[in-house]
């Protein structure tokens, strides 16, 4: 019995047994199509369909939305999503495609929408039938979120939206967007409001989605243009002018510091999945020739990998500590630290792999001579997105300093 299992309450133990039994029979076979390295790089309907089918089956089995009330499509359980996540990762299931919906939109809607809207939106979000995207960043407002200029003008019970959002992952598939915009130009933070917007049904009728090609050659990011799009006032979350406060709920969960655990899975072993752990680096170093020996025999490489192992172990211990209330001195400290550390560990691991591969790191997907099918160079390029998403590492360090350590605000 693992340490996690020993801490389970009787209800949690029953739920874990259910999850293990169901996963033993229902973990899907690897796909016949190549999958991207993360849900944020889904490009084709074949990729999306395979992953949506997985999320739907996991939801039907009660492994998604476990801790939300039954009335909004959840499982009505307490502290069971963490267990579901542990078992899905242990079973090496595929990842879920609705990553923005599950991690950001669901808690925001749950805490700030009217009851009827929750009951309408959340079940299809949990099942993956409705894909969601996030409309926060703009060409002139990335990390400075309070400066967004997309504007909504009120006309009776409707709002007319005009503006330009960018870096909107999954917008090319999304039915819905969580949207932060300005409803008052005379004040900064208090002039922001927050909406949920059905963008797919409005394509060509006030909404334009344009893909952005990334350095990896894949899509996933988009820009979204709003031109006189009308939405009903019932799609507004919380009070008018409270958009900044609602956005803080979104960001807290995006950074792993929210109260609701995000459903997550992944780890399926296939040619499309890629592991950037220190153990994967060891495997790569053992297979890579260097000056008549293997890279694993190079003292510098061994030291680099050992440093990564130490950081990974520290992250794992932080996660264990986060599950013991008595060991927490601040509700946001570990979650914010973990987001920062995890994204930078991934980037450094990919960088070390590039060093190990040497000149072969210039070979990419589709080249039969590329080590590991060219996945490491792709992971390296993708890694920069993770150190920018949800606030850059620099922003994350400022937040930790100001909100956790109580240091003076940066200028």
- Residues with a catalytic annotation lie at 254
Pairwise CA distance, residues 378 & 88, whole Å: 25
DSSP code of 198?
E
Q: Which phi and psi angles does 98 have, rounded to 5°? A: -90, 55
Pairwise CA distance, residues 240 & 136, whole Å: 17
Q: Which phi and psi angles does 289 have, rounded to 5°? A: -80, 145
Q: What is the DSSP string of 200-258?
A: GGGBTTTEEEEEE--TTS---EEEEEEEEEEEEGGGEESSTT-HHHHHHHHHHHHTT-S
DSSP code of 272?
T
Cβ within 8 Å of residue 120, ≥6 positions away: none
52 closest CA partner among 178, 169, 173: 173
State how beta strands 151-155 and 158-166 pair: antiparallel
39 closest CA partner among 28, 30, 50, 29: 50
Characterise 8 by phi-psi region: left (phi > 0), alpha (psi -120 to 50), beta (else).
Answer: beta
Q: In the numeric block, which tokens belong to residue 60? A: 């039907």
* Helix-then-strand count for the chain, H and E: 13, 10
């Amino acid at each position: 019995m693992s340490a996690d299992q020993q801490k389970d309450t009787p209800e949690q133990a029953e739920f874990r047994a259910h999850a293990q039994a169901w996963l033993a029979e229902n973990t899907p076979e690897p796909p016949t199509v190549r999958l991207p390295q993360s849900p944020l790089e889904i490009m084709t309907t074949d990729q999306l369909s395979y992953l949506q089918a997985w999320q739907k089956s996991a939801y039907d089995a009660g492994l998604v939305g476990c801790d939300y009330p039954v009335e909004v499509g959840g499982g009505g359980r307490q502290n069971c999503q963490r267990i579901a996540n542990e078992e899905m990762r242990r079973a090496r299931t595929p990842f879920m495609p609705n990553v923005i919906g599950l991690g950001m939109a669901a808690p925001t809607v749950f805490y700030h929408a009217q009851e009827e809207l929750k009951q309408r939106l959340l079940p299809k979000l949990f099942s993956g039938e409705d894909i969601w995207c996030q409309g926060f960043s703009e060409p002139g407002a990335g990390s400075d979120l309070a400066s967004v200029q997309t504007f909504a003008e009120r006309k009776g019970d409707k709002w007319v939206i005009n503006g330009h959002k960018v870096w909107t992952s999954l917008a090319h598939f999304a039915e819905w967007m969580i949207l932060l915009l300005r409803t008052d130009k005379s004040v900064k933070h208090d002039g922001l409001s927050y909406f949920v917007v059905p963008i797919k049904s409005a394509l060509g009728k006030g909404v334009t989605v344009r893909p952005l090609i990334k350095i990896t050659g894949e899509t996933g990011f988009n820009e979204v243009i709003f031109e006189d799009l009308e939405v009903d006032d019932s799609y507004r979350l919380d009070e008018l002018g409270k958009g900044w406060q609602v956005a803080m709920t979104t960001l807290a969960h995006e950074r792993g510091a929210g109260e609701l655990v995000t459903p997550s899975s992944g780890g399926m072993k296939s040619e499309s999945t890629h592991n950037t752990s220190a153990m994967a680096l060891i495997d790569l170093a053992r297979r890579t020739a260097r000056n008549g020996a293997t890279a694993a025999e190079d003292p510098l490489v061994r030291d680099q990998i050992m440093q990564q192992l130490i950081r990974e172990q520290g992250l794992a211990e932080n996660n264990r500590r986060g599950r013991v209330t008595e060991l927490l001195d601040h509700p946001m400290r570990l979650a914010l630290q973990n987001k920062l550390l995890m994204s930078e560990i991934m980037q450094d691991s990919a960088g070390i792999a590039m060093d190990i591969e040497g000149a072969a790191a210039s070979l990419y997907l589709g080249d039969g001579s590329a080590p590991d099918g060219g996945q490491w160079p792709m992971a390296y390029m993708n890694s920069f997105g993770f150190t920018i998403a949800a606030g850059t590492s620099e922003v994350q360090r400022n937040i930790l300093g100001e909100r956790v350590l109580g240091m003076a605000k940066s200028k």
